[in-house]
Structures are given as structure tokens and as C-alpha cells.
């Protein structure tokens, strides 16, 4: 891999430098608030661009920010991470950013969480689905959809584990070498399904991790999970299953801590969504105990 240039304002990062384009909230942990800190704990330099921060950033404003980075020789990134994007025009601009970053670093890894909806409910404009399917998937390195999103992207109704594996194959054929379906509800079980096509034209290595269900609803878990997958898959580039095991183990430890902390103050965890205890779970992010492993 070519060594990054010594930049005028930022030294090269040995672990990686991530540009993260996601939403931002003042209070709570979703979007960049859920992704940046964990990646920093894992050793990455992260530059966040907040696509939503009180007001919505438009495509031209994103272009202006990228031009500002370019003017200061700051466009060398090892990774691009994207999450919630609310308009076709902004997503089209993100695609231009991918091209621009790859002119500086052809080895840029683009990790895309195609945030479109969950549990049968679409919460972005319908036009975004075709843009993800036709334009984003072909340039993504890793894709991290949930069950509803992977069904939208592939047109395949997923009712079994084998359906999930087929969906991964469809996505591989369209672009990304790594696909992680972060949550699949199959016959009462919650699964993660991962697939890594290491060489084009060869069958991918595919695996599943069984995840215990927690009787509560949490915000920001998808954003955090994708950040953890980026962080660990870069450390173990040829071992997506280990990266996924570490990511799941971190997330589960954090969620259990969150649940217990809310219970400790007398809060009914099923009465409302819970804000994840991100700051209090630093050790679980940095050094997770690998409790959840690939199911043979």
C-alpha cells in the first residue's frame, strides 16, 4: 500500500484515517455521535462531516467542504464511512466524493451503511433505493444493511438463513467484497450473516452469528455496529468472521450495560427507547471479550 503523504495539517495515521459522513445530534448517540468515538478508541483518526446538525447539509455544502480539504492537501483517507442520507442529491454528491477520494488514494475502503428503514418501514424518500442499488453498491467495499434494507437492495424476500446467504451473493455480484447483514429475524432467532468474497469469481466465505435478543429498544445501534465492523475488519482484513465476532461482542456488552444501568435507577426499559451507554463502555469497545462466535 502506498504510504500516505505527510500532510500540512495532519500527520499520516498508522491505523487509518476515516472520513465519516453521517447525521449528528446534540443529545444522545446516533450517527456520527455513535460512530466517531468508538473508532477513535480503536486507534483511528476520524474526520466527521455532519449531514444533519440542526439543519440539513445540502450537496453543494458538502462539495464546498471537500474543496476546502483539497485546498489544504487533506484529502488522503484510508476509509470513507456513510450512514443516514436523506436525499438523492446528497447521495449523488457522496458518490462524487468517493471518486474524488479514490483519485488521491485508489485503495480507499468505502464502508456503506445503507440506512433506509427497518421492520418493513421506509424512512427515506423511495427514490433513494434505486440510487443505492444502481450507483452506491457498485462502488462500496463493505455493505452493512439490516434485513429490510437487504430485501430492498436485492428484491429478495428473506425468510431463511439460505435466503440471507443468497442475498449476500447478489450484492457481491454487484460490487462489495464484504457484506454483513447486521440483523436477521429468522424463525424467532436473531442472526448476523457475513460474507467475504476474497477473490472475484470464487465462492465467498460465509458465516452466521446467533445474537441473543434483549427485551428493549436502543437508539444508535446500527451506526455503532457499522463503525465497529469498519474498525475491526481493517485490523483483520482477511478475517471478516473474527471482526464480526469482536463487533458483536462489543455491542452486546454495551447493550447489557445500558439495560442494567436503566434498571438500576428504576426505569422500565420497555417503556421507551434507551440511549446507549457509550462513554461508560469504553473498555468493551477497546478490548472486547470475544463471547459471540461464528456458529458452525
What residues act catalytically? 223
What are the residues facing 21 on neighbouring strands?
Answer: 49, 82
Distances 14 to 1, 93, 112, 226 between C-alpha atoms, Å = 12, 29, 22, 21
Strand ranges of the sheet holding 189-196, from the earlier edge strand across to the other edge: 55-56, 45-53, 17-23, 79-82, 109-112, 142-143, 178-186, 189-196, 205-211
Q: How many CB atoms lie within 10 A of CB 89?
A: 14
In a 3-state reduction of DSSP, which class is residue 190? strand
Cα separation, 209 vs 184, in Å, equals 10
Rounded to the nearest angstrom, the gap between the alpha carbon of residue 240 and the centroid of all alpha carbons in its chain is: 14
Q: How many CB atoms lie within 10 A of CB 149?
A: 24
DSSP state of 27: S
Are 59 and 89 a contacting pair, CB within 8 Å? yes
Amino acid at each position: 500500500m502506498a504510504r500516505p503523504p505527510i500532510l500540512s495539517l495532519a500527520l499520516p495515521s498508522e491505523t487509518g484515517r476515516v472520513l465519516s459522513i453521517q447525521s449528528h445530534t446534540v443529545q444522545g448517540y446516533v450517527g456520527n455521535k455513535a460512530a466517531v468515538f468508538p473508532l477513535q478508541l480503536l486507534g483511528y483518526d476520524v474526520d466527521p462531516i455532519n449531514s444533519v446538525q440542526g439543519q440539513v447539509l445540502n450537496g453543494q455544502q458538502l462539495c464546498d467542504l471537500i474543496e476546502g480539504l483539497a485546498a489544504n492537501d487533506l484529502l488522503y483517507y484510508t476509509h470513507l464511512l456513510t450512514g443516514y442520507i436523506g436525499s438523492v442529491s446528497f447521495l449523488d454528491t457522496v458518490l462524487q466524493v468517493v471518486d474524488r477520494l479514490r483519485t488521491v488514494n485508489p485503495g480507499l475502503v468505502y464502508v456503506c451503511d445503507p440506512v433506509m428503514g427497518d421492520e418493513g418501514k421506509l424512512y427515506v424518500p423511495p427514490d433513494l433505493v434505486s440510487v443505492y442499488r444502481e450507483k452506491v453498491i457498485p462502488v462500496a467495499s463493505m455493505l452493512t444493511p439490516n434485513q429490510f434494507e437487504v430485501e430492498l437492495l436485492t428484491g429478495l424476500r428473506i425468510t431463511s438463513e439460505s435466503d440471507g446467504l443468497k442475498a449476500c451473493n447478489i450484492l457481491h455480484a454487484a460490487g462489495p467484497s464484504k457484506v454483513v447483514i447486521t440483523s436477521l429475524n429468522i424463525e424467532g432467532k436473531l442472526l448476523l450473516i457475513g460474507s467475504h468474497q476474497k477473490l472475484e469469481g470464487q465462492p465467498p466465505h460465509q458465516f452466521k452469528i446467533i445474537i441473543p435478543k434483549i427485551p428493549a429498544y436502543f437508539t444508535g445501534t446500527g451506526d455503532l455496529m457499522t463503525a465497529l465492523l469498519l474498525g475491526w475488519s481493517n485490523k483483520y482484513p482477511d478475517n471478516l468472521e473474527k471482526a464480526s465476532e469482536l463487533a458483536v461482542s462489543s455491542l452486546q456488552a454495551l447493550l447489557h450495560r445500558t439495560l442494567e444501568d436503566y434498571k438500576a435507577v428504576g426505569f422500565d426499559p420497555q417503556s421507551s427507547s434507551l440511549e446507549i451507554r457509550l462513554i461508560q463502555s469504553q473498555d468493551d469497545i477497546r478490548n472486547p471479550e470475544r463471547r459471540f462466535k461464528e456458529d458452525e
